[in-house]
Amino acid sequence: MSTAATETTPQDDVAVPDDVLVDVRGLKVHFPIKRGVFFDRTVGHVYAVDGMDMQIKRGETYGLVGESGCGKSTFGRALLRLEEPTEGTVLFDGVDVASLKGETLRRKRQDMQMVFQDPLSSLDPRQTVESLLLEGMQAHGLAKDGKAATARLRELLSAVGLPPAALRKYPHEFSGGQRQRIGIARALSVNPQLIVADEPVSALDVSVQAQVVNLLEELQEEFSLTYLVVAHDLAVVRHISDRVGVMYLGALVEEADADDLYAMPLHPYTRALMSAVPVPDPTTEDRRERIILAGDLPSPANPPTGCRFHTRCPWKQEERCDTERPQLRTIELEGVPGTHRVACHFAEQIQRGEIQPHEVDVSFVEQVDAQPDDATPVTVEPGAP
């Protein structure tokens, strides 16, 4: 029935192309759930990242989106080896990150930096901006010559649009947008190749968000950076990303060039996310497909069998959906390029209109999920996506 063309599996032993900076295969990060007086009994696991396969190309911006709790931050942290992988590999510039230890790991970290959602909690309030920026540079031997270091500090501030006087101030003296600029300057201070920006603008006012996004784009060009931008909002990653990956309960369900993904979302979950984004044009807005997802994200400690999305999927079929986990694969459909991958057994039939959406049984979501405080019945208004 399926017209699957290619399936990627973590076991594929394929050479990494030169244009790939980060190569992730079968990555899993499971957190043990401990019980008992001394928390000495493992009673289960949170499957935060559970089979991620993806590559980030040199110089690109990869946008990673998904609901709160789907594992985006854990994945970003695992790339930088801030979380230990349970299984799978991360190759950074051809080097297996898990194999690095001690001094070699510390030196490699210079190439991979993180920008956090909340700059205030990630910047030590007792340090001046100068000391915050110098810290990383000193740790990596980039501040040995005092004069050169001062010049570098000024250059960094100018790159992120802050005046030299900012060096003597403390984080609390700045606005949210300015603090995020300091966070970005700190990441830049050690000349990284990759920046993982975890919800970099979520905590900022809408008016400031665009400025920070523009700044990230300018810096990318100036310093030849590669970005992984993590967000729960498709609208945020749309303009900044070259490619977008959609994550659901620990793994990608769809990945494509940004324009292709927004033009033709193929996975039911992506279609639902996309249908929640309003369109400025009133005619298109009226005809827009609206898919309201039933229930919350199921608990990553007890993920559904088969397709992780089957408890909420309006296109769920009797066969395969709740028994067989779909792999991320390319599909044979006119107008869909080989770079567009989707993890759904029935993506072709759904796209061709051969399978119609149906109501989702909310009690089923409740039964599997066990935490659907605001479970809402699904309503689907068919129309152009």
Ligand X SMILES: Nc1ncnc2c1ncn2[C@@H]1O[C@H](COP(=O)(O)OP(=O)(O)OP(=O)(O)O)[C@@H](O)[C@H]1O
* Residue 136 near which of ligand X, Mg ion, ligand SF4, none (CB within 5-8 Å, type-dependent): none
- Choose the contact partner of 268 out of ligand X, Mg ion, ligand SF4, none; CB within 5 to 8 A by kind: ligand SF4
> CB of residue 63 vs ligand SF4: minimum separation in angstroms?
21
Q: Where are the alpha helices (DSSP H) in the chain?
A: 72-79, 102-109, 119-122, 129-139, 146-159, 176-188, 206-223, 234-240, 258-263, 268-275, 282-287, 347-351, 362-369
Shortest reach from residue 72's CB to ligand SF4, in Å: 19
As measured in angstroms, the least distance from the Cβ of 315 to ligand SF4 is 4
Nearest to 323 by CA among 305, 344, 343: 305
| Chain positions contacting ligand SF4, by CB under 6 A | 268, 307, 309-310, 313, 315-317, 321, 326, 344-346
Which residue number, 72 or 345, has a Cβ lying nearer to Mg ion?
72
DSSP classification of residue 375 = -
User: 345 is in the binding site of which of Mg ion, ligand X, ligand SF4, none (Cβ under 5 to 8 A by kind)?
Assistant: ligand SF4
- Residue 71 or 265 with smaller CB distance to ligand X: 71
> Residue 326: which of Mg ion, ligand SF4, ligand X, none does it interact with, CB under 5 to 8 A by kind?
ligand SF4
Binding mask 48-77 for ligand X (x = CB under 6 A): x-----------------x-xxxxxxx---
Smallest gap from residue 351 Cβ to ligand SF4 (A): 11
31 binds ligand X (CB under 6 A): yes
Q: Which lies closer to ligand SF4 via its Cβ, residue 181 or residue 267?
A: 267
Whether the CB-CB separation of 68 and 259 falls below 8 Å is answered with: no
Radius of gyration from C-alpha coordinates of the chain: 22
For 282-322, what is the HEC assignment? HHHHHHCCEECCCCCCCCCCCCCCCCCCCCCCCCCCCCCCC
Nearer residue to ligand SF4 within complex by CB, 117 or 275:
275
Query: CA dihedral in degrees (273, 279, 282, 285; nearest 10)?
Result: -20
295: nearest Cα among 29, 55, 4, 67: 67
Q: Which residues of 370-381 are buried (b: 16+ CB within 10 A; e: fewer)?
A: eebeebeebebe
DSSP codes joined into one string, 155-203: HHHHHTT--GGGGGS-GGGS-HHHHHHHHHHHHHTT--SEEEEESTTTT
Q: Which is nearer to ligand X, 66 or 183 (CB)?
A: 66
CB of 98 to Mg ion, least distance (A): 22
Nearer to ligand SF4, 220 or 376 (CB): 376
Residue number with the smallest Cβ distance to Mg ion: 73
Q: Assess 308 for contact with ligand X (CB under 6 A).
A: no
Query: Is residue 85 a contact point for ligand X (CB under 6 A)?
Result: no
Give least dist CB 237 to ligand X, A.
13
98: DSSP letter: G
Nearer Cβ to Mg ion (250/268): 250
Q: Which is nearer to Mg ion, 116 or 315 (CB)?
A: 116
Smallest distance, ligand SF4 to C-beta of residue 101, A: 40
Residues lying near Mg ion in the complex (CB under 5 A): 73
Binding residue for ligand X, selected from 181, 232, 308, 341, defined by CB under 6 A: 232
State in angstroms the smallest separation of the CB of 56 from Mg ion. Answer: 18
- 375 vs 290: CA distance, rounded Å: 17
Indicate the DSSP class of residue 370.
Answer: S
CA 220 – CA 156 distance, rounded (Å):
14
Size of the site for ligand X (CB under 6 A): 13
Task: Provide the pairing of β-strand 329-331 with 4-7.
Answer: antiparallel
Q: How far is the CB of 300 from ligand X (least distance, A)?
A: 5
- 33/148 with CB nearer ligand X: 33
Residue with structure tokens 């559970």?
50
Contacting residues toward ligand X, per CB under 6 A: 31, 46, 48, 66, 68-74, 232, 300
